[in-house]
Chain A
């Protein structure tokens, strides 16, 4: 099997997995909300309501599609499409597991191991705002426009702190931007130089501050509560997607869940060792290589599911910020802390070596 064929299969699998996880995230969100509020949640479609996402999808496709008369029709359709494309593009650089051994050849479970990995992620994330802005403006509705403007200023503001927190991680891995290198570096060496557990040398133990900043920024970038100002329904009806109906609304809602999935994957890769897990070296000596690869993929997905749960947990726990509070947090709290964190990390590496 040639590399191209393998990559093509991987792309299709990733696409389907992203959509599947996004669909079941909507179910999980409702179940978790119900659990946190002492309710039962959806339980009518199938056993435990497991067919609910399919029912929702069918409903979305069959609903009447309304394009407002005074809207810009081309841009109105372009908005949700662009939002979906940009959210799906990020998964190309994430290393999903140890390489697979097919007929003696090693195939990396990563679509593209580019030299600029993490910059690619930041670049594509910064493009995500176009889908929201174009859709919000093309609706020709002042609430949609306000939501779009809130979204863009919020995302630009939090990108800076996010980039700064990533710089500290890059300093830890000798300046390699490749996500593959960052994950590999967390699987080798001893934790703090003396705790000898293989595959446990995670960045979060060295950079807890950077992790917290990155986590908060990921919430803001994914427009999740407590930073869901762009669509705050009590002020802006529905924010940037007020005028959308049918599957175009579905794409916006779906994109948010894919965003959450991808952010969780990036957080796991940058701070929680990606596919590495404690005892990976020992298992490598007793298990065939492919089984270990599959276990590593499952471990990564376990971490991702934990963070998706965390996103939902926060949503149903913390109320929404006010807009000026959001801006003050981003510029006056997170930015300075992130810069000081970078300086301290650089100082520490200069003084004590690695």
Chain B
């Protein structure tokens, strides 16, 4: 589904990302871990064509992302709060995204109703603008918005950060369910090794912009990762 070839990103002379080759097949739930500055967000930004690669390319479902916009209809993402429109209420925001992604009000309402538990009564019908919600609740809204319109590729940057324990557990269940669908590819980055090993079939470790580990998740994965980062 997503093919990366000889991708590099440099700021001035400093190399922040260098991926020779990375193939993410359709339907995989893919986890990206690494310390601060490892290049996780850079990779996602390149995947969404928010920054330009210094060399190389990313191909998303046969579309090269830096030269065509055709990847947009089937890809959705929540990277940070700059993906939210602060002066809209959550409902308005969901409908807006729905409009963009060809989902009508009924579709959006149906989707939202399945997230009632996840929202925990703090998102819908609050008469608050998104900018006035807490960080955690903003994140919830952003994550759910990225599920609108049946995207085939879902990109979530640090989805577990800032969430309370209950929500983290619920989010794990949601992502697992999403990943179980054959045609949805989920890309997640996280600092939390436990969460990411629980929800992802495959984990790639980035260090200083390069891939240092590429593991199919198994019972030993968490231990392996802990030893790696502990050193």
Q: Are A and B subunits of one complex?
A: no
Residue positions of B touching A, CB distance < 8 A: none
